[in-house]
Amino acid sequence: MTVRVRFAPSPTGMFHVGGARSALQNWIFAKQQGGVFVLRVEDTDAARNKPEWTEGILSALEWIGIARDTYEGPYFQSAYAGEHRAAAGRLYDAGRAYYCDCTREAVQARTGSQYQGYDGFCRDRGLPPGEGRALRFRTPDEGTTVVVDLIRGEPTFENKLIEDFVIARGDGSPVFLLANVVDDMTMGITHVIRAEEHLPNTPKQQLLWDALGVKPPVWAHVPVVVNEKRQKLSKRRDKVALEAYRDEGYLAAAMRNYLMLLGWAPSGDREIVPWSVIEEEFRLAEVNPSPAFFDEKKLRAFNGEYIRALPVDEFVAACRPWLTGTGTIAPPPWQPEEFDADAFAAVAPLAQTRIAVLSEIVPNVDFLFLADPLIDEAAWAKAMKEGAAELLDAAVAGYTALESWDAESLKSTLEAVGAERGLKLGKAQAPVRVAVTGRTVGLPLFESLEVLGRERTLARLRAARLRLV
């Protein structure tokens, strides 16, 4: 039997990192089993779904490594409404479901407000279908439902504790629980790998599989993803959108490596490993069922390592969108024609060891591409203390007289200027750095000046000197 798995996002917002994790796990599992990965967009909640979210999910999947030609679909749940209704009809015809006209208030009046479930009032009333009547599944009074879960063993649920749940609303539209099952059946899904949040739905869904006469899939409920306070990652509180990480300059390779470490680790004492190792070693059954901590700091450090490991030309190419502003990435603070690819290539190796996400390239190199540096006033105040004006004068004089404009000569000149004033190089550098780059920290100064060039460096030193008059 061919293994068929699916990833079934609802396009109601940005693509959640937890979803990306589940998608990768499904995709690897399918690949390992020689199976098929199906993408199904669960778009039945018309009020909350937007086509652009769907497009966003597809492109984010592609970015993370799930290319469009490696899966079947996308299928759209809304296209299967006929199958959902037919299944509801079959369950009713077989006596496995019944119509109910109870209002929530009526149920609560009978059961007391503490009880959240349904009391089975309409079970034996034999109501025919009608406007405003919901269809409820008649759950078995006895026995247990055993969910076979590759990660959690065999969670077992008492049937008598499962309420007669709604499968179609009063307007006849099937609910998520049923649509999701019918689609999995229609698409021949053999393994449902999804987030732990759905585990409470699973016994109900398995009862639907049984009632519809099809062998249920094998389940795998992967751990919930939590923040440092052990709270479930939420889009209101935490940074959860894969697109946000992408646009900030996380590398897809780092991101997917990190996502796969949520609840699992490769062999040896390794975390950063080539994707081929993950594809080979990942075992769904080894995934830890406890909540997985999404550690942004660790991800950041990870990303820095991935950035440092890039060949320089790839690093240069990877930075490009932040330097020229493309797609969803914010434009840089300079005009497109001010960008100088050669100047960037010259400083790129210096930047590569210093940044953890690609967007950080911008404040490191903006001094090269702006007509005037963006002066950070706090940095200015700190660097331009007593003696700064004289030091700048001396630097201008020394640099004007320089024969060769190279980092080595720029350094020794300033070293000498500092020494005359009893200043160590670090102290002597500070006013020069702020005058030229606008900041107190940045790329190595003398290499920066070499790339910026004689004229622009001198002009900035003079402009700073004028400000100090």
Task: Tell me which residues touch ligand GLU (CB under 6 A).
Answer: 8-10, 42, 180, 194, 198
User: If DSSP codes are grouped into helix, strand and coil, which group holds residue 174?
Assistant: strand
Minimum separation from the CB atom of position 8 to ligand GLU (A): 4
Cβ contact 129:99 at 8 Å: yes
Q: End-to-end distance of the chain based on CA atoms, in angstroms?
A: 83
> Which residue, 179 or 410, is less far from ligand GLU as judged by CB?
179
Residue by residue, DSSP assigns 299-329 as HHHHHHHHHHHS-HHHHHHHHHHHHHT-TTS
C-alpha span between 256 and 35 (Å, rounded): 21
Q: Which of 235, 233, 253, 257 is nearest to 244 (CA)?
A: 235
- CA torsion through residues 336, 341, 346, 350, sign: positive
Rounded to whole angstroms, what are the CA distances from 4 to 76, 182, 206, 328, 441? 17, 15, 17, 34, 53
C-alpha span between 207 and 248 (Å, rounded): 44
Active site residues: 235
Name beta bridge partners: 241: 16
User: If DSSP codes are grouped into helix, strand and coil, which group holds residue 454?
Assistant: helix
> Which residue, 5 or 107, is less far from ligand GLU as judged by CB?
5
CA atoms within 13 A on the CB side of 73: 25
C-alpha span between 7 and 209 (Å, rounded): 19
